[in-house]
Chain A
C-alpha cells in the first residue's frame, strides 16, 4: 500500500573507494571551503586514521586549521559548544569529521552554532528549527553503523536532564560523505558487531516505520540483506576489505532510509538506556532489537513478514504472524551467534543496567522523540514488560 505522502531528499554527495581519503581533490574542488576544522576522537587519532585524512586534505591544497579531539562516546552539549567555539576562533570555514556517530554528530551540531549562532538547546531542539545554509561538512565514518554521514539527524547528550536530544533538519545533511573501508579495518570484533547491529536496527525500524516509503523500503531491505549476510564474516575476519566495504555501504543505505522514515521504540529504549545507564548505543540496539519488534508485532506483522527474504528466514507457507515471528527469530539468532563469538553482550544486566533502572528506562522511552514515529503507541507498561525480557 502506498503512503499518502512521502518526500525523498538525499543531497549528500557520497563517494566510495578503498584508500579514497588519500585523494579527495576531485570531490573537494567545488566546495566553498579552504580552512577545515577536523573533528575526531583520541582513539581515531591514535590509530592514525585522522592523519590519513588530514594528509589527503593537505595534499589537495586545503588547510586544516585545527583538530578537535574532545569527543566522548556520546556527544554532549558542552562538547559541541567547545567545538563550535574553536571553529570560530580559528576562522574555520568548513568541518571534516573523522570518526563514528558521536564525532560526526558533534561536527553537525557544532556547525549549526558556528554557522547560525545561538544556543544549541534553546534555539534548535525540536522539529524544523534549523534553517541553513551551514558551512560545508565532510563526513568520513570510521565505523559502519551510525549512518550519520548521510542523515539529517544529530543526537547530543544533555547531562542536566540525562537525555539524548535529537536535532533534525535537512540543513544537517553533510555536504560530502567519504566511504573508505580501509578506515574500518582496525575495528575490533565487538565494535564491528555492535555498530553493524546499530545499522541493522536503523534499517529494520525504517522498514516498519509509518513514515516508510517505496524509496526507503528499497534502501532498508538491501541494507538488511547486506548486513545480515556479512556481519559474522567481518567479526571473524576484520581484515576482509570486501566485507568491510559491504558493511560501510549498508550502513549508509540504512542511514538514508531512517533519515527519511525515522526509527521507533528500539531506538527509544536504546536512547533511554544510554542516557540513564550509559549503555553504548549499538550494544543497546543489538540487545533490544528483537524485543522492540515483539512489542510492535501487533501493528506491523505483515510488513515484518515481508522482510523474511532479506534476513534469510524460510517462511514459505507460514501464516503472516508466524512469518513475522520467524523474521524476529532470525534477527535474535544472529545476535545470539555474535554473542557466542564474544562480540556482543546478550542482556541488559550484562551492560550495567539494574532491574531498578528498567521502569525509568520505560518512562524515558515514552518521552523519547522516536516514540512519535513508532508504528504502535509507545506505552510505558508494555515497554517495561519487554525491557524485563531483555534484562
Chain B
C-alpha cells in the first residue's frame, strides 16, 4: 500500500505542481533552454506525466505514453514525492536503482541547479492546495 490514496489524486497533485513550476519564469527559462521532453513514469500508484520543454512554452501532459521522450525517468511515487522536498540524493537514488533514467542522463543533471528553488515551493504548493497531509518530510 503506497502513500497516496489513488492514482488520480497523485496525478492531479504532481501535475499541478509541475504547472506551478512551469509558470515560474526563472525556472521555466532554464527548462525551455534544455529543449528536453521528460517522461516521468511512477509506480504505486501508476501515473505518467510528460513535461515537454521542446516548444515555446512548457507543456505538462498526464497519461501521455506515446510522445517520444528525450529522457524517461521511472520511480516509485513516494520517491518522487520525497525528491520534490529536496530530500533525495539523486546520485544515491540512481546507484540504488530507486530511480531509473533512460536516455542522456547528464542533460537532466544539468537542470538540477535550476530546479533547486522548487524544493521550497513544493510544501508551499501542497499546503495551498489541500494536500497538507502529505507534508511529511
Residues of A within 8 A of B (CB): 4-5, 7, 123-129, 210-211, 366-369, 371-373, 377
Contact = CB atoms under 8 A, between A and B. Distances in A.
- Dominant secondary structure of chain B at its interface with chain A: mixed
B41 to A, nearest CB: 13
A369 B106 contact: yes
A127 B92 contact: no
B127 interface: no
B100 A372 contact: no
B106 A126 contact: no
A5 B95 CA distance: 10
A174 to B, nearest CB: 20
B130 interface: no
A269 to B, nearest CB: 14
Given A123-B102, A129-B100, A129-B101, 12 more contacts: A4-B92, A126-B100, A127-B94, A127-B99, A127-B105, A128-B99, A128-B101, A211-B91, A369-B106, A371-B109, A372-B109, A377-B113
A366 B94 contact: no
B110 to A, nearest CB: 7
Interface string B106-123: 110110010000000000
30 contacts: A5-B89, A5-B96, A7-B95, A123-B102, A124-B102, A125-B103, A125-B104, A126-B71, A126-B72, A126-B102, A126-B103, A126-B104, A126-B105, A127-B100, A127-B105, A128-B94, A128-B97, A128-B99, A128-B100, A128-B101, A129-B100, A366-B106, A367-B106, A367-B107, A367-B110, A369-B105, A369-B106, A371-B106, A372-B106, A372-B109
Interface of B: 71-72, 89, 91-92, 94-97, 99-107, 109-110, 113
Select the residue from A4, A125, A368, A372 with max chain B CB neighbours within 10 A. Answer: A372
Select the residue from A125, A126, A211, A377 with max chain B CB neighbours within 10 A. Answer: A126
Contacts of A123: 102
Nearest to A210: B91
Given A5-B92, A7-B95, A127 B101 contact: yes
Contacts, number: 53
Contacts of B92: 4-5
A171 B50 CA distance: 29
Nearest to B72: A126
Nearest to A161: B104
Contact of A372 (B72, B91, B99, B103): B91
A256 to B, nearest CB: 15
Contacts of B106: 366-369, 371-372
B103 to A, nearest CB: 5
Nearest to A170: B97
Contacts of B97: 128
A16 B106 CA distance: 37
A155 B89 CA distance: 25
A7 B96 contact: yes
Contacts of B89: 4-5
A126 B101 contact: yes
Nearest to A371: B106
Contacts of A210: 91
B100 to A, nearest CB: 4
A367 B110 CA distance: 8
Contacts of A124: 102
A210 B89 CA distance: 12
Given A366-B110, A367-B107, A125 B102 contact: yes
A123 B100 CA distance: 12
Contacts of A211: 91, 95
A169 to B, nearest CB: 9
Nearest to B104: A125
